[in-house]
Amino acid sequence: MPMDLKLQGRAALVLGASSGLGEAVALLLAREGVRLGLAARRTDQLEAVAAKAKELGAPEARGFALDLRDAGSISAMHAAFREAFGDADIAILNGGGPKAGRLTELTLADWDAAYALLLRGMLHLLDAIVPPMRARRWGRIVALTSTSVKQPIDSLALSNVFRTALVSALRTLAVEVARDGVTVNSIATGRIETARLRAIYGNDDAGLLAAASEVPMGRIASAEEFAPMAVFLCGAPASYVTGQTISVDGGLTRGLFG
């Protein structure tokens, strides 16, 4: 059942919406009657997600090709989104993970690629979507990040560095736009069953068990368990929540304020 977050008719841009967390968040927004722009590199999969979103209640749902590493792709996607939906009311910032590796194993080219994917591309998009939100005095920005922003993960140095930089930028932005009716929050994602998790831990039952063993709850979560927090942060009941980085991780992050 819809959560009745008073989002009906809002326009949302969801990045990385072809599968995993992005898809799950998009489909839950669809149940709230949100008009959906779905962006990802795999446009063939976006068509299926868009069709499912319409079945669940989205008045409109369209896919847009997007490569966050390519400035031209970001500009073209945003222009196409605006032509179809107008300015975004909601932005779900989400993207693929960078190359795994320890800091001492990485090359400068690896750092450049991760910067483009995890930080520069997101900043480019924010530069386009934030001014209209401020002008209309309403907007919701939610970034899907990782527990690595609170507790660095071994062998994921690029994620540790650039996801944390993005959260820092968003925390700064939250203060700057708070009086304009725009909220900005991040979610530190724990062990959720996605293609990225399987790529890190192994695409078999043993890998999933290893991931689950690290979590106090003793299991990994589904993307559908993760999505409600992201959608809640977009809704009216969360209008006084901004500048936060909220963990959805089954107790994985051990910090006192994790």
Residue (of 88, 87, 64, 86) closest to 12 by Cα position: 88
Per-residue pLDDT tens for 44-89? Answer: 999 999 999 999 999 999 999 999 999 999 999 999 999 999 999 9
Domains, the chain, with CATH or none: 11-248 (3.40.50.720)
Q: Is the pLDDT of residue 2 over 80?
A: no
Per-residue pLDDT tens for 5-31? Answer: 999 999 999 999 999 999 999 999 999
CA distances from 95 to 18, 86, 105, 215 (A): 10, 23, 23, 23
User: In this structure, what are the phi and psi dihedrals at residue 227, rounded to the nearest 5 degrees?
Assistant: -60, -40
